[in-house]
Chain A
Amino acid sequence: MTITDTYRIHEDWGSLTNPLRRSLEKQNGVTGTLVDTLHKLAFTQFQNTQLPGKKNEDWKYTSMRELLNTQFSEPVFPGNGYIDLRSGITELDAACIVFVNGHLLLQLSDELPAGVKLITIQEAMKEKSTLRLLEHMIARLGSSMMTPFEALTTSMTTPGVCLSIESDLQLSRPLHFLHFTDSDSASPIYTYPYKLIGIGRNTSVDIVESFVSLNNETVSFTNSVNHIMVESGAHLRHHRLQDENAQSFHINMTRVYQEKDSAYSSIAVELGSKLMRNNIEVLHCGTGITSNLNGLFMAEDRQHTDTQTFIDHAQPRCESHELYKGILDGYARGVFNGKIIVRPDAQKTNAFQQNNTLVLSRNAIMDSKPQLEIFADDVKCSHGATIGQLDENAVFYLRSRGLNRNEASALLQQAFVGEVLDKCTNEAVRNYLNQHVEAHHHE
């Protein structure tokens, strides 16, 4: 009997589930810890999810066939060749936490400020504060429905980390998770970074996540998961930059549970990858919550960029604001699916969603799908989607001032996405994101 038979993993998942099989083998017989509970929960959900395919509404516009058919293998464990990794890649002044191929490299990471703890998921069971976070998260996840890719990463034992920040802290310097992929070999590699993040009561912090390829030739699959708990009164500003190489596949899930009076503000900048899907799901677990989800995506050639958001307004007097903007060129395809549920109890909800996409080429395709389900009667909700081209009047105006067509186009693109970057209240972070965005404007 093969492992596949024992654990019932659908063979269409191909090489992507190899690390999961190995992890299940290793675990064999050793069970009973809280981390095992997390993995088991995720694995059960994984087995119950539908395979991504055209028949599945969630995957109607995004095909996973190429990803599932690619033969991936375990990346080589990063050696010591990464001493100067950060120089030249980020000028951002932040406390950096460095991962290569999904492995945390503490020797390259900065010392973290007081009150900020970074440990492995295994170690998280040994301390009271992180144990509570873990228990709390397992309880929440038990009543949520993970996506297949999210459940896949969550069900593995390595190499997850836990970031826990104490209550009542005002951290002015951002924490920066740098995720690098790298390989010398020609064969495709997978990485499954998992982060459990807890923001303590009334704490305010900026977290930046960057996903970057060190080698432009490496074919990689990053399947990243963030499970985040924002405790009451806390404010997490979460900035995400995905700038992996043009061969890479990238899937991310950020699942956020917000408690009473907390705020979660997200800016997701999607620039790289051949195939990219970013999911954000926010569940309101108390009243007086604010969720700001912002993002911009730029795709060209045959890039496929897919943003999926879901805000679950389960409690009264909460608000959410969403602004997603995109620019597509060449044969690129873009997808935006913005789901909002306002549950019967969630009276006095304010929920606003906007998606605007600029399509620069006649061969690029955008699918934008707002999905509002409202079951309460005293609410304010609105959504809007536009798909358009560059304003030729504006192009003429700029050209009549000496800018050539490409310069005029670049300036208008910058202006278009500027509205999203302006949502970033931390100037250093904004400049950092903007540098990467500017490098992608077509001159």
Chain B
Amino acid sequence: MLSIHQLKVSIGEKEILKGIDLDIKAGEVHAIMGPNGSGKSTLAQVIAGREEYEVTSGSMTYDGYNLLEMEIDERARAGIFLAFQYPVEIPGVTTAHFLKSTINAIRKGRGQEELTAVELLKLMRAKIQSLGIDEAFLKRALNEGFSGGEKKKNEILQMAVLEPRLCILDETDSGLDIDALRIVADGVNALRNKDRAFVVVTHYQRLLNYIIPDYVHVLYDGRIVQSGGKELALKLEEQGYDWVKETAETA
């Protein structure tokens, strides 16, 4: 589904990703771990198309299409979804209005008919209930004055409503209490199926107790320095990142 080859990315003069190789197939869950400043979030945002980052070399394909030539919104309509680490507050737009706009933008992109107001409301209500989120969410301005946990729940709600094929979670667990973490994880797990892939970017192993990954990659200084199964995450939890840094630097 997603194939990244020798991807190098800079912001300004600074090189952040220094040659990433990653292959993700439908149905898989990949965790990307690593210490602060290793480039995890950059990778997540580059896949979504953030324009501030400059891809200096390498390739990135999605279903065989050259992702680097696709606009941010084209990628979204093709089924790529980024759950933000810091969801943006947009006063003046209710969550319901926002969801309606995005659902129909994505449907239009897929060549599907737009949903009517009644159908939209039904869809949103159903998803909200299945996620155990308060319906009052819909009437509030998008993320405005939301707690950290509410913002992350809102990201998962959007994901559930938009049904993307490649879901990227950028530190979705940061700042969450245990209840919110469970809602987020349940939301993700409910969406897991053989056609959908996940990239879970996280600093801590905690989230991976709830979302069990198929693969774990460790990113350090812009490179993937270790890859393995879910047991790699446990090792990181026990031993921290120092041994990774040492191995990377002696290599």
Contacts and interface: CB of A to CB of B under 8 A. Distances in A.
A397 B105 contact: no
Interface stretch (B22-30, B68-76, B184-192): B68-76
B92 A416 contact: yes
Contacts of B93: 411-412, 414-415, 418
Contact of A402 (B50, B51, B109): B109
A401 B84 contact: no
Nearest to A412: B90
A139 interface: no
A134 to B, nearest CB: 43
A399 B92 contact: no
Contacts of A414: 92-93
A187 to B, nearest CB: 43
A76 interface: no
A394 interface: yes
A29 B205 CA distance: 96
A394 B76 contact: no
B73 A403 contact: yes
Interface string B91-130: 1110000100110011001000000000000000000000
A407 B90 contact: no
Task: Name the residue in B72, B76, B88, B109 with the highest tally of chain A Cβ atoms < 10 Å from its Cβ.
Answer: B72
Nearest to A416: B92
A401 B92 contact: no
A215 to B, nearest CB: 35
Interface centre among A398, A401, A419 (most CB of B within 10 A): A401
Nearest to A415: B92
Contacts of A404: 71, 73, 105
Interface in A209-260: none
B49 interface: yes
A270 B81 CA distance: 39
Contact of B49 (A391, A400, A415): A400
Given A396-B50, A396-B51, A396-B72, A401 B105 contact: yes
Interface centre among A399, A402, A405 (most CB of B within 10 A): A402
Nearest to B144: A415
A409 to B, nearest CB: 12
Chain A interface extent, by class: 20 to 34
Interface string B80-92: 0110100110111
A393 B51 CA distance: 11
Given A402-B77, A405-B73, A397 B92 contact: no
Interface string A371-402: 00000000000000000000101101111111
Given A407-B101, A407-B105, A400 B91 contact: no
B169 interface: no
B67 interface: no
B91 A401 contact: no
B145 to A, nearest CB: 14
A396 B49 CA distance: 9
Contacts of B48: 400
B162 interface: yes
B91 A399 contact: no
Given A396-B51, A412-B90, A401 B71 contact: no
A408 B72 CA distance: 12
Contacts of A416: 92
A402 B92 contact: no
B90 A394 contact: yes
Nearest to A410: B101
Contacts of A393: 88
A397 B175 CA distance: 20
Nearest to A405: B73
B88 A394 contact: yes
A403 B91 contact: no
Given A407-B101, A411-B93, A419-B92, A401 B87 contact: no
Nearest to B51: A396
Contact of B158 (A401, A408, A411, A412): A401
A397 B85 CA distance: 11
A399 B90 contact: no
Which among A400, A412, A415 has the highest number of chain B CB atoms within 10 Å? A400
Give the residue among A394, A397, A412, A417 with the most B Cβ atoms within 10 A: A397
Contacts of B92: 414-419
Interface string A149-190: 000000000000000000000000000000000000000000
A411 B71 contact: no
Given A396-B50, A396-B51, A411 B88 contact: no
Contact of B71 (A398, A399, A412, A419): A399
A401 B76 contact: yes
Contacts of A400: 48-49, 72-73, 75-76, 81-82, 84
Contacts of B98: 401, 411
Interface string A40-71: 00000000000000000000000000000000
Nearest to B50: A396
Given A396-B50, A403-B105, A419 B76 contact: no
Interface in A343-392: 391
Given A400-B48, A401-B158, 6 more contacts: A398-B90, A399-B76, A400-B49, A415-B93, A415-B141, A419-B91
Interface of B: 48-51, 71-73, 75-77, 81-82, 84, 87-88, 90-93, 98, 101-102, 105-106, 109, 141, 158, 162
11 contacts: A394-B88, A396-B88, A398-B102, A400-B72, A401-B102, A402-B105, A402-B109, A405-B73, A411-B98, A416-B92, A418-B92
Top 6 closest pairs, chain A to chain B, by CB: A415-B92, A418-B92, A402-B105, A399-B72, A402-B76, A401-B102
